[in-house]
C-alpha cells in the first residue's frame, strides 16, 4: 500500500489514480478515503490525477494516541502534498475533511492550491456559543462521545440514518451503503474517533476561511442533519473572498443517490471552469 511517513513517524495511506492536474480529496468522520472512490474514479476518468488519503487514526493510516486535531490533520495533508510534489491542486473536503483543507490553507497557504471545494463542511464552527448561536449545543457532542465509547458498532449503525437522511420521506438509501459506512467507521481507532469529535465540533476556522485567496465552491444540503447549513456553508460563503455557494435542496450530509450525481456534475464543471 502506498504511504508516506510524517515527521512524527505516522504512516499515512493514500490512493493515487490517473494522471493530469491533481485533485486531492479529504474524507469526513468517521470514514476513510474509500468514501471518495466514486469521485476518484470519476475525475481520473476525465483526465485528472485523483488522490485521497486516510486521515491519521482512520483506515489504513497509523492510529496515533496524540495528534488527532485539525492542526495535525492539516500538517499531514501538507506533508502528503509536499511528498508527491503536487501543484495547481484542487482540494475537495467533505465534512471534517472540509475543515482539514480549510485549516491547511489557513496554516500552510495556497502556493500549491488552485481551487477548493467544500461539501457539507464543518467551517466556520459547529459548536453553539454566545457568538455562534446557530451552532449545535455541546450536549449533542457529549452524547456522541458517550455512545461511541459505550457501543461504537451500534453508534455507527445509528449514525448512518441521519448521515444519509434515511429517516426522510422518499429516501432511497440501500442497506449496502449503510453497511459500507459502518465498515469504514469500524476501521477508525477508538481514541482517534473520540478525539476527532472535539476537533470537528470545537475548532474555529473563521480566520482560516478569511485567509483563502483562491476560488472556492461551497456546496451544502439544506437538509443536512449532521452539519446544519445555518452555522456552516451560509457563514463560510460570507467569509471566503471568492466563494460560490450552492445550496442543494433536500440533500442530506452524505453523498448518496441523485444528490451524489448532482455533486459529481458540479465537481466536474468546477474543475473545468
Range of the domain at 10: 3-272
Is 141's pLDDT higher than 90? yes
List strand residue ranges (DSSP E) for 173-261, in order.
216-221, 243-248
> Would you state the pLDDT for residue 118?
99
pLDDT mean over 200-217: 98
pTM check: above 0.85: yes
> Would you state the pLDDT for residue 205?
98
pLDDT band at residue 132 using 50, 70 and 90 as cut-offs: very high
Is 138's pLDDT higher than 90? yes
Could you read off the pLDDT of 62-98 as tens digits, one per residue?
999 999 999 999 999 999 999 999 999 999 999 999 9
Q: State whether residue 27 is helix, strand or coil.
A: coil
Rounded Cα gap, residues 17 and 23, in angstroms: 10
> Would you state the pLDDT for residue 60?
98
CATH number at 134 reads 3.40.50.1820
> Would you state the pLDDT for residue 190?
98
Rounded Cα gap, residues 39 and 21, in angstroms: 15
pLDDT mean over 212-233: 98
Q: Are the C-beta atoms of 118 and 217 separated by less than 8 Å?
A: yes
Listed residue (138, 91, 125) closest to 207, CA to CA = 125
Is 133's pLDDT higher than 90? yes
pLDDT band at residue 246 using 50, 70 and 90 as cut-offs: very high
Nine cell digits for residue 273: 471552469
Catalytic (active-site) positions: 95, 224, 253
Listed residue (140, 150, 154) closest to 197, CA to CA = 140
Buried b (16+ CB within 10 A) or exposed e, 181-197: bbebbebbbeebbbbbb
pLDDT band at residue 1 using 50, 70 and 90 as cut-offs: confident
Tally of domains within the chain: 1
Amino acid at each position: 500500500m502506498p504511504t508516506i511517513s510524517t515527521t512524527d513517524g505516522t504512516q499515512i495511506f493514500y490512493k493515487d489514480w490517473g494522471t493530469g492536474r491533481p485533485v486531492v480529496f479529504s474524507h469526513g468522520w468517521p470514514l476513510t478515503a474509500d468514501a471518495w472512490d466514486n469521485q476518484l474514479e470519476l475525475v481520473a476518468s476525465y483526465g485528472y490525477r485523483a488522490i485521497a488519503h486516510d486521515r491519521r487514526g482512520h483506515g489504513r493510516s497509523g492510529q496515533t494516541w496524540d495528534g488527532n486535531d485539525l492542526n495535525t490533520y492539516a500538517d499531514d495533508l501538507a506533508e502528503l502534498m509536499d511528498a508527491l510534489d503536487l501543484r495547481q491542486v484542487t482540494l475537495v473536503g467533505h465534512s471534517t475533511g472540509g475543515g482539514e483543507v480549510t485549516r491547511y490553507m489557513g496554516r500552510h497557504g495556497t502556493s500549491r492550491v488552485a481551487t477548493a471545494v467544500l461539501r457539507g463542511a464543518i467551517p466556520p464552527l459547529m459548536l453553539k456559543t454566545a457568538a455562534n448561536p446557530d451552532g449545535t449545543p455541546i450536549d449533542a457532542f457529549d452524547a456522541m462521545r458517550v455512545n461511541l465509547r459505550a457501543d461504537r458498532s451500534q453508534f455507527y449503525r445509528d449514525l448512518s440514518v441521519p448521515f444519509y437522511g434515511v429517516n426522510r420521506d422518499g429516501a432511497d438509501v440501500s442497506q449496502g451503503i449503510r453497511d459500507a459506512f459502518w465498515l469504514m467507521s469500524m476501521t477508525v481507532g477508538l481514541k482517534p474517533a473520540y478525539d476527532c469529535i472535539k476537533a470537528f465540533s470545537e475548532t474555529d476556522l473563521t480566520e482560516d476561511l478569511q485567509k483563502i485567496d483562491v476560488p472556492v465552491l461551497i456546496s451544502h444540503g439544506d437538509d443536512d442533519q449532521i452539519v446544519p447549513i445555518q452555522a456552516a456553508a451560509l457563514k463560510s460563503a460570507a467569509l471566503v473572498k471568492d466563494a460560490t455557494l450552492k445550496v442543494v435542496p433536500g440533500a442530506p450530509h452524505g453523498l448518496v443517490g441523485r444528490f451524489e450525481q448532482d455533486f459529481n456534475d458540479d465537481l466536474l464543471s468546477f474543475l473545468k471552469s
